[in-house]
A and B are shown apart, each in its own frame.
Chain A
Amino acid sequence: MSDRHPSYRFALEHSTHEGRALGRAFVEPDFQPVREWAYFEAVRRGRLPLVTAQAGGAVEPIWSEEGPPLCKGIRILGSELSNGYFFELACERAAAYVATGELDPGESFHYRVLAHPAEPGDTLPPALLEFDAEPLAEAVELAARPLAELEAASTQVGEQDPLDAPVLVAESVLREARALAEQAGEVEAGGVLIGHLHRDAGGTEVIAEVVAQLPARHAEADGTSFAFTPETWAAADAALALRGADERILGWWHSHPNFCRTCPDGRRRACSFARPFFSREDGHLHRTCFPQAWQLALLVSDLPDDGWTPALFGWREGRIVERGYRTLPDAQKENR
């Protein structure tokens, strides 16, 4: 999912916290999520229409005060991001320095981001078959709904980050997902979230409203994994068509059973599995199937202390984070 024709190649330069140089290496950041985020920001401000197309736009370095090739961030579609976007890649690279003994395990490190103009050969190899692919950008209809009224009728869960678009989730969705997760017990469960995108009648903000969940049919599940199969997607499409309510797929959900059941109490408290978490597989699935900045992932976790607990994840500045949302009572949903 790298750029086919990048304008710049980015590199990371690592050093220890004492300033000892570790090395410099080219990296291939996945910039598509940040493109999608920047595009959605423009949609939320009423500067661009919402269309069904992959967001484009060149990623440009923002040069540091020291000048090129050192960057202090990146710019895309008028939005700016700090070098924090490279943090995960920097950690992966640091792990390689640990593996070669150049960095001690647990030792802190610094990294700097560098950008170099791409060479003509810095493109991906051609695909198997030669044919043209023309993106089709179809307008996504955003019905006007007053955000203030929706907020008055709903309850905030978690903290609403100012960077996040408002999300409303029907209480029935949470209830059903929890029940299905509980029913599945020690095996993971999952499904698809469906609903509508609205435009605030009093402004430009885009609102996502999750009205229902479709349990995943033909999925393959065990205690640590849940697979959406081609038949799962076909069944979800068929269910959407049968409902005939002009809904769209807004995201997906899945459950995490209690991974800490057999762990001693003390270990549980420090364990990251004892909290809602997005695994690498979860992140990859979200990136692959739900890359638009408004797409969501609901996780229902059986936590050692709290039992089945929902948490909503979404895109923020091109990264997947746990986010706040509002719950809409079922009666309000039925009155739509």
Chain B
Amino acid sequence: MTGRRAAVRVGRWSLPWRPRTAATALAVLASTVVLACVSLAIGDMNISVGRVAAVLVGGGDGGDRFIVLDLRLPRLVVTVLVGLALGLSGAVVQNITRNPLASPDVIGILSGASAGAVAAIVLGTSSTLLIPSMAMAGGLTAAAVVFLASWKGGVEGYRIVLVGIGVAAICSALTSLLLVRARVHEAAQAVVWLTGTLDGRTWTHAVPLMIVVGLVVPVLLVLLHALGALSLGDATAGSIGVRVDSVRVVALVAATLLASVAAAATGPIAFVAFVAPQVMMRVIGSPTPPIMGSGLGGAFLLLSTDVIARTLLPVELPVGIVTVVIGAPFFLFLLMARRRRLTV
């Protein structure tokens, strides 16, 4: 390539100008906004987009205001933030491990978070803070166990994925153990939660999400450059001044917190964290999963899945089931594509 690459400079910060990345990000953002409007408009009672807009700017009649602001807006916010958190978390973990199959849902972080949240539910708490914090504790524990148990002079390769399968199995056994001991009411609540659903989400679910996403995303923004350097290999990254190990640990904790708080809000929604970075990587044409792009992609993916589940399917299913049915075949496809590359 000849000529200098154009750059965007703001003060002492600069970014390379990549038209395809910017265009993709804009397109995904625009589609997400459109879908968000659709998501607010459709439901048991359809409200026209114009009336939704009226409500959002402060007008509209009482019924519309109640439906849009109190019922559908919290669900929308939860959906977008959970998608964002899962996409970011998946991209970070895939970057750190340099392994597309190692995402928080595959390596058992979501299962750990679920076990923590179920413990909180079974203890009979209705505290809005306890469920997310227990979920985060569970997710961090699972992540720590997975990484320590698969550490053998590095976490390269498939070992982490297999160890993650083992940890996920242990976590779900613990979850069942908790369910056995629970009283019927709490057990029923936990079982519904475990399928991964966006139904009936309120602001109490959205607030912890907003706090954690608001705190963690700036950290990731600071780390973006260092994470990009990590993809060049540890030695190269170290030689350009990146403190490899601390970046990795901080990024992993950030990713785990995001995935866990998402799981606390909606239950474990599988395969978004895995699929979003891989799709966005192919769309943007970048060599590694783009971190911020994956966040956007995750939000778009979850929102569109939710809208599809609510409109096209004859019956309303929990979104966690729909993401598995869409995401799992994609995983198989990727696995076989990798295999072909190995075979050649």
A, B bound: no
Chain B contact residues, CB within 8 Å of chain A:
none
Residues on A lying within 8 angstroms of B by beta carbon are none
